[in-house]
A = this chain, B = another copy of it.
Amino acid sequence: MGRRSSHTAEELRELILDASTMLISEGGLASLSAREVARRIGYSPGTLYNVFENLDDLILTIEGRLIDGLAAELDQVLSIGSPKEKALALGRAYIKYTSEKPKLWNLLFEHHLPAGREVPTWYQQKIDGIMERVESAIAPMMPDSKPEVIKRTAQVLWAGVHGITSLATADKLSIAKSEGAGPLVDNLIITYLAGLKQGS
Contacts and interface: CB of A to CB of B under 8 A. Distances in A.
Interface in A162-200: 162-164, 166-168, 170, 172-176, 183-184, 187-188, 190-196, 198-199
A131 B4 CA distance: 58
A152 B194 contact: no
11 contacts: A109-B170, A127-B172, A130-B173, A152-B187, A156-B164, A156-B184, A159-B175, A160-B164, A161-B163, A190-B199, A191-B196
A158 B170 contact: no
A159 B188 CA distance: 10
A156 B184 CA distance: 6
Given A156-B160, A195-B195, 6 more contacts: A152-B187, A158-B173, A163-B163, A190-B195, A193-B195, A194-B195
B194 A198 contact: yes
A166 B115 contact: no
Given A183-B152, A192-B192, A195-B198, A173 B164 contact: no
Contacts of A124: 174
B155 A166 contact: no
